[in-house]
Amino acid sequence: MGVIRAEPARVTDWAAKSVGAAWRSFDLQLVTYAGLLVAVGLVMAYTNSVEGGPGGQVDTTFSRGLMWAAIAVAVFTVATFFDYRWLKALAWPIYAIQLGLLAMTLAIGDGIGGSARWVALGPLTFQFSELAKILMIVVLASFLASRGGRLNSIGSVVGACLLVGPPLALVMMQPDLGTSLVFGAILAGMLWMSGVSLRWLGVLAIATVAMVPIAWNYLLRDYQKERLLQFMDSNPDIQGAGFQLHQAQIAVGSGGAFGKGLTNGTQTQGGFLPVQATDFVFATLAEELGFIGGLVLFALFALLLWRVLTSAWRSKDPFGTLFGAGLASMILFQLVVNVGMVLGIMPITGIPLPFVTHGGASLVSMAAGLGILQSVNIRQARAAW
């Protein structure tokens, strides 16, 4: 009888040790670096809230930023507790949901200049193309993980391209050139990290270049073409399509080494910098926090990417490895293009700066991606090193 009574205690102890071991794999550094980037985003939202809105009303950028940050924390928590292995089992329904959300955006979405990018959800608006990026990583990770030792075959490459094709086309129809480029970066990054040979990646790159004339003639809107032409023009029209870039470069250059101080930027507070809380938020940061502030931002991104790739490497499950690769590819590409377009070395495409750009959809989607990665960590981690 004594042995029988002791058995539940042993089971309980084993379960407690298993749970404890799993949660010891929770990557606190990953959360810390992401949290610091969100804090930078809130600081930028605050400085962009100081400027008065139409009719003298105070802008609500900061209050909305706090609200979306709270929602992002909740989404991250739910995604962390959710067993990521269900995502593999539900990959095809998730793909259908992704296409449905993008199609719904085209049908009922609102935007600027005849575009359809945001869907109203009560008092809030949400950009489903941001969520579609994370869903695309889930679907691609599931597909490539299921290919096993056939990852370097033409079937794997073509299959991955066929999966990315429909959602990319739906995003282009909104039209949203920036997000469609992110889809392409996710595909390239995940194929490369999966071990696909450079030969196939080269073929994919050639095929992409061959599609440029088709995209130029049939997919891009006139304003998108104008932005690309202005980027290639050595003397852009600073009163027309080149106005945003010109004002951003003034802001960046005037910041100097240490910046002008929060809420003291002449370009930012004077209203000269367009979309300063979203696409050109880095210009605001550079003007008010200077070169040092920019370096701190890049250091935080480097540390975050290191932890994302570390989580991917540690995963025993190929799905976890590939998901981490896709998430890192997305973050890195958006960082390079967003900062590059502010500095004038990349065309203006409307790609947000992860965690920092004011926008609920981008932040919530990033939180979901990091939460899924943490779910992989606590369920599939190797011994820490």
Mean pLDDT across the chain, nearest whole number? 82
What Rg value do the Cα atoms of the chain yield, rounded? 22
Report pLDDT digits (tens) over 251-294.
888 888 888 888 888 887 777 777 777 788 898 999 999 999 99
- For residue 140, is it within any domain? yes
CA distance 332 to 334: 6
Closest Cα to residue 177, out of 218, 221, 213? 221
Closest Cα to residue 73, out of 333, 328, 360, 295? 360
Residue 341 to residues 182, 193, 212, Cα–Cα distance (Å): 15, 26, 20
∠ CA 270-42-74, nearest 5°, is 150
* Sign of the torsion formed by the C-alpha atoms of 358, 359, 360 and 362: negative
What is the structure's pLDDT at 278? Answer: 77
Residue 5, pLDDT above cutoff 50: no
- For residue 117, is it within any domain? yes
- For residue 290, is it within any domain? yes
* Sign of the torsion formed by the C-alpha atoms of 317, 310, 132 and 167: negative
What is the structure's pLDDT at 373? Answer: 96
Average pLDDT for 163-173: 91
- For residue 340, is it within any domain? yes
Q: Which tops the pLDDT comparison, 228 or 174?
A: 174
* Bridge partners, residue 126, by sequence: 119
b/e map 112-135, b = 16+ CB within 10 Å? eeebbbbbeeeeebbbbbbbbbbb
Asked whether 191 and 201 are in contact (CB, 8 A), the reply is yes
- For residue 12, is it within any domain? no
Domain that holds residue 331: 28-50+60-380
- For residue 16, is it within any domain? no
Report pLDDT digits (tens) over 75-128.
999 999 999 999 988 999 999 999 999 999 888 877 665 566 777 776 677 788
Average pLDDT for 148-177: 85
* Bridge partners, residue 119, by sequence: 126
| Domains in the chain, number | 1
What is the structure's pLDDT at 17? Answer: 46
Residue 240, pLDDT above cutoff 80: no
What is the structure's pLDDT at 14? Answer: 37
- For residue 164, is it within any domain? yes
CA distance 116 to 17: 51
* Residue type for position 123: P
Average pLDDT for 201-211: 82
What is the structure's pLDDT at 3? Answer: 43
| Window from 2-6, 225-229, 250-254 with minimum mean pLDDT | 2-6
Distance of CA 120 to the CA centre of its chain: 21
What is the structure's pLDDT at 303? Answer: 97
CA distance 58 to 55: 9
CA distance 52 to 195: 52
Cβ-based neighbour number of residue 46 at 10 Å: 16
CA distance 83 to 294: 37
119's enclosing H/E stretch is strand 119-121
Report pLDDT digits (tens) over 320-368.
999 999 999 999 999 999 999 888 888 877 789 999 988 788 999 999 9
Average pLDDT for 227-241: 66
| Window from 44-58, 159-173, 314-328, 351-365 with minimum mean pLDDT | 44-58
- For residue 92, is it within any domain? yes
